[in-house]
Amino acid sequence: MRLTYKFSKEDLSKIPADIVVIQCKKVLGDGKKPGQLLKSDGGMLLDKALGGLLTRVLADEMFDGSQCTSKIIDIHSKIAAKKILIVGIGEEKDLSLDSLRLIGSKITKIANGLRAKSIAGVLQPEKIKNLSPSDRMQALVEGMQLGGYRFDLYKNKKDLEKPTLQTIKVIFGGNPAAAEKATKLGTLFAEAISYARDLVNMPGHDLTPEVLAIEAKKIAKAGHLFCKVLNEKEIEKDGMGLLTAISKGAANPPRFIHLGYKPKKKAKIKIAIVGKGITFDSGGYNLKSTIHMENMKQDMAGAAALLSIMKLLPTIRPSVQIDGYIPATENMIDGKAHKPGDVIRSRSGKTVEILNLDAEGRLILADAIDHAKENSPDIMIDMATLTGGVRYALGEIYTAILGNDQGLIDKIISASKSAGEPMWQLPLEKEYLKGFKESIADLNNNGKSYASTICGALFINEFVGKTKWAHLDIAESAWAREERGYRTKGGTGAMIQTIINFLASY
């Protein structure tokens, strides 16, 4: 549900909201002091109006204001609101856009948990740390909206307990125009991320390559983007032998999707983005373990992020040309499916011995990248749930980034910082390429090294050529096995904000 924001200059104590939200910061020292209410957000004033009740509660219960902790206090007189929610914001030095997203999601969850319809709070007009009120507002809105994300498409609607929170009253002393714009932007981002989450969470039988293509067409129509979809025959005719090979075992036919955005003025540069679109990865004849194979519906998270990015472009309007490509297929088993050891000619002409049918992502990306190169992009980026090994390299929250151009990698990592999407670079170690060359074909698709995330990137690199390129392995970051703050369980919508920040930086 979309939350609505109303800006006003009223007195916080006079607002008849279900909950008034105030902040509490952590004080430096021995850690044994209660947290401190703020003057600037009306907390101290409310405390005064309530005869010091809030400070007493903080001291009695040793609430120290650590980030994302909270305290609810029921109020029955003296102020118009029914309840006060005190949110710990930690020490000022730890405040960041992402901590505000986390705080925002916490507020939504508490409000819905208490069945509150309206909340109110102060947006301080001054800069806090280096963060302007608009930046803080946008991050809070993103967190509040995403914290309320649910995937209930398959739930029986009559049994659903609907979220209650609808309105947020923002008391703001400054000129509200910029802050109001920030709430619109925050809502836009949150809804784009929710859209990608929906696609990732949707089961493979409903989210087929054809459905991805239909979504792409809808996005193109609404945003006046270029859109071309190739069907299975056209994919084969285009020479995408590797994509064709992987699609052989599937009953649902493959699609190759191309979406294009151009700025009004002449584009500064051309950027191609490729998103892995395996709508279900069974592993093919290198069949995956059946334990949690259901999660392999997420193997199109790169495609989902790309669709969401393309959907945002007509509003964000960056000054670069962006072509998005999605090779979309299922990876299944069947009498027609390829067998381990089969040799396939890629679109580039290189032959590939498919030693492992479960290393299918790099195959379809190789053909897509070769296709994308025909438009002579200045930069190529691919986003892919490519290797389970990224979990062992970097754990649950990081996206691995590899590539052939340090400047590009640094620029993307820098864009990821304010997006709150941790990234870490792994080396494109050429030594490990040798394992791919031990083959009856030009290369095999498996390699030999334990460094599977690096190997995946090395294989793709063989098809990239001289174009500047960055590979984002989102196999862990695109999916939360359990809830992490505003990242609800399931698809996370990783890399949408990072890439939008990156594109907007030109």
The set of catalytic residues is 288, 362
> Which of 482, 331, 506 is CA-nearest to residue 412?
506
Contacting Zn ion within 275-314 (CB under 5 A): 278, 281, 299
Q: Which two tokens stand for residue 126?
A: 């001054």
Contacting ligand BES within 295-314 (CB under 6 A): 299
Cα dihedral sign, 234-240-245-247: negative
Part in contact with Zn ion (CB under 5 A); list of ranges 358-366, 387-395, 396-404, 469-477: 358-366
How far is the C-alpha of 380 from the C-alpha of 294, rounded, in Å? 31
CA dihedral 487, 493, 498, 504 (to 10 degrees): -130
Q: Residue 238 carries which DSSP code?
A: T
75 contact choice in Zn ion, ligand BES, none (CB below 5 to 8 Å, kind-dependent):
none
In angstroms, give the least distance from the CB of 384 to ligand BES: 8
How far is the C-alpha of 433 from the C-alpha of 444, rounded, in Å? 10
367 contact choice in ligand BES, Zn ion, none (CB below 5 to 8 Å, kind-dependent):
none
Nearer to ligand BES, 165 or 455 (CB): 455
H or E element: which one contains 55?
helix 53-60
> Among 142, 281, 330, 462, which residue interacts with ligand BES (rule: CB under 6 A)?
281
In angstroms, give the least distance from the CB of 387 to ligand BES: 4
Contacting Zn ion within 222-281 (CB under 5 A): 278, 281
Collect all residues with Cβ–Cβ distance below 8 Å to 30 and sequence separation of at least 6.
none
CB 417, CB 308: distance < 8 Å: no
Nearer to ligand BES, 135 or 360 (CB): 360
Q: Where are the beta strands (DSSP E) in 332-457?
A: 343-345, 351-353, 379-384, 399-403, 423-425, 443-444
Nearer to ligand BES, 387 or 399 (CB): 387
> Among 18, 135, 353, 358, which residue interacts with ligand BES (rule: CB under 6 A)?
358
In angstroms, give the least distance from the CB of 249 to ligand BES: 14
Nearer to ligand BES, 198 or 281 (CB): 281
Give CA angle at 229 (223, 232), nearest 5°: 160
Q: Which two tokens stand for residue 205?
A: 């039988």
Q: By Cβ distance, which residue is nearest to ligand BES?
A: 388
Q: Is 361 in the site for ligand BES (CB under 6 A)?
A: yes
Q: Is 356 in the site for ligand BES (CB under 6 A)?
A: yes
In angstroms, give the least distance from the CB of 241 to ligand BES: 18
388 contact choice in Zn ion, ligand BES, none (CB below 5 to 8 Å, kind-dependent):
ligand BES
Give CA angle at 255 (252, 256), nearest 5°: 160
**Helices 176-201 and 496-504, interaxial angle, to 10°?**
130
> Among 23, 105, 201, 446, which residue interacts with ligand BES (rule: CB under 6 A)?
446
Part in contact with ligand BES (CB under 6 A); list of ranges 237-245, 341-349, 382-390, 422-430: 382-390
How far is the C-alpha of 496 from the C-alpha of 506, rounded, in Å? 16
Which residues contact ligand BES by CB under 6 A?
A: 281, 299, 356, 358-361, 385-389, 446, 452, 475
Which residues contact Zn ion by CB under 5 A?
A: 278, 281, 299, 358, 360-361
